[in-house]
């Protein structure tokens, strides 16, 4: 485990089959408000499972505070989980402590790209210092190799090393800053890259640039990439699979286009229906409308806790929903999972419901 393992060429079929990252039953709670209250959004995470394979881009969507950032932070070890296991390349990294944890981190195989590069890049350091820092900390490469690796990483993210090297973060544009933080993450040649809302602070023209860059890195370096986002359409352009979070739980998981085209969970349906669209009129008839997916006025009130997490906002909530449904495979849809008692049948009930609402 050094920082120098080779760049994997695409075509490692055997390896791609097995999960690189396997998260099982991960739960996090911030229940006792510690004095360091600035941790994440404070959302808890309940019983989350996630698999990521090499060369794959997995998207994670959900509203703010739904636990997606917590999942990333717990997986990389910034937050101690209450329960669950985190296996990386067959090794139980969740159990690592002290020296072993530090050694694993120095190997640089898992990297996290923070949401806001302005906050995650030390304002006093130069770009070269910043990108080199993980290498300096690991200390396995010679000074010259490190400098070369910095240049190479900067070039990989599309920045000119000569122009960038001595600048400070405040002298860069938003898109450049985000690319510097990606360059820092890939300088150790990681195998897994976690990106926490990598584009939500960027302008439209930079947004796709960074997403394309991640896609390209996935292909060139054989990386596994996890992208946390709240923008469905940017994920649609790049991710292979998607996990949808709602209030600390994964409510749906599966291949992205299938999930977005034909959501199995009412929340996913609400998400896709709410996404604004520029296509004038196109597909509007086929698509669900958000109004169809909110409970009608005067429907049964649901408690906040102890029932299905989505029951409060679900038009299909019924008696069975007093139990939180487990994330189960969907029939006749390989690779898809949903946590809903009526995953298979809510669409059929939409018709009557819709007519009801239209008359209103």
Interior/surface letters 61-96, b for 16+ CB within 10 angstroms, e for the rest: bbeebbbbbbbbbbbbbebebeebebbbbeeebbeb
Nearer to other proteins, 14 or 285 (CB): 285
Among 1, 12, 64, 355, binds other proteins (CB under 8 A): 64
Footprint of other proteins on 315-344 (CB under 8 A) = none
Footprint of other proteins on 111-130 (CB under 8 A) = 111-112, 114-116, 119-122, 124-125
Mask for 200-239, x = binds other proteins (CB under 8 A)? xxxxxx-xxx-xx--x--------------xxxxx-xxx-
Mask for 78-117, x = binds other proteins (CB under 8 A)? x-----------------------xxxxxxx--xx-xxx-
Among 274, 326, 349, 351, binds other proteins (CB under 8 A): 274
Among 154, 271, 340, 350, binds other proteins (CB under 8 A): 271
**273 binds other proteins, rule: CB under 8 A:** yes
Among 15, 49, 91, 133, binds other proteins (CB under 8 A): 133
> Which listed range, 13-21, 145-153, 277-285, 339-347, lies at the site for other proteins (CB under 8 A)?
277-285
**157 binds other proteins, rule: CB under 8 A:** no
Among 279, 285, 303, 360, binds other proteins (CB under 8 A): 279
Q: How far is the CB of 353 from other proteins (least distance, A)?
A: 18
State residue 249 phi and psi, 5-degree precision.
-125, 150
Among 98, 283, 334, 352, binds other proteins (CB under 8 A): 283
**272 binds other proteins, rule: CB under 8 A:** yes
Are 174 and 203 in contact by the 8 Å Cβ rule? The answer is yes
**299 binds other proteins, rule: CB under 8 A:** no
Footprint of other proteins on 8-47 (CB under 8 A) = 30, 33, 36, 38-44
Footprint of other proteins on 241-260 (CB under 8 A) = 247, 256-257, 260
Rounded Cα gap, residues 86 and 72, in angstroms: 11
């Amino acid at each position: 485990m050094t920082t120098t393992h080779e760049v994997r060429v695409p075509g490692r079929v055997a390896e791609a089959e097995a999960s690189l990252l396997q998260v099982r039953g991960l739960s996090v709670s911030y229940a006792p408000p510690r004095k360091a209250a600035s941790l994440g959004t404070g959302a808890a995470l309940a019983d989350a499972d996630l698999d990521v394979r090499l060369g794959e881009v997995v998207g994670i969507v959900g509203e703010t505070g739904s636990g997606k950032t917590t999942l990333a932070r717990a997986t990389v070890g910034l937050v101690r989980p209450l329960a669950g296991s985190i296996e990386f390349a067959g090794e139980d990294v969740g159990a690592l402590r002290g020296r072993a944890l530090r050694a694993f981190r120095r190997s640089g195989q898992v990297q996290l790209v923070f949401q806001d590069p302005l906050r995650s890049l030390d304002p006093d350091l130069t770009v070269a210092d910043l990108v080199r820092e993980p290498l300096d900390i690991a200390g396995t490469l010679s000074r010259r190799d490190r400098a070369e690796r910095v240049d190479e990483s900067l070039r990989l993210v599309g920045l000119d090393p000569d122009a960038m090297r001595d600048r400070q973060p405040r002298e860069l544009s938003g898109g450049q800053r985000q690319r510097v933080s990606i360059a820092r993450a890939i300088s150790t040649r990681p195998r897994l890259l976690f990106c926490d809302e990598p584009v939500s602070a960027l302008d439209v023209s930079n947004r796709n640039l960074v997403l394309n860059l991640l896609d390209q890195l996935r292909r060139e370096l054989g990386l596994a990439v996890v992208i946390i986002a709240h923008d469905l359409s940017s994920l649609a352009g790049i991710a292979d699979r998607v996990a949808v979070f709602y209030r600390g739980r994964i409510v749906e998981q599966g291949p992205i286009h299938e999930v977005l085209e034909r959501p199995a969970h009412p929340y996913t349906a609400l998400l896709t229906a709410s996404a604004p669209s520029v296509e004038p009129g196109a597909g509007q008839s086929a698509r669900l409308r958000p109004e169809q997916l909110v409970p009608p006025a005067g429907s049964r009130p649901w408690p906040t806790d102890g029932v299905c997490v989505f029951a409060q906002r679900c038009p299909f909530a019924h008696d069975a929903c007093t139990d939180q449904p487990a994330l189960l495979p969907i029939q006749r849809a390989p690779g898809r999972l949903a946590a809903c008692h009526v995953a298979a049948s809510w669409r059929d009930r939409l018709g009557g419901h819709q007519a009801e609402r239209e008359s209103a």
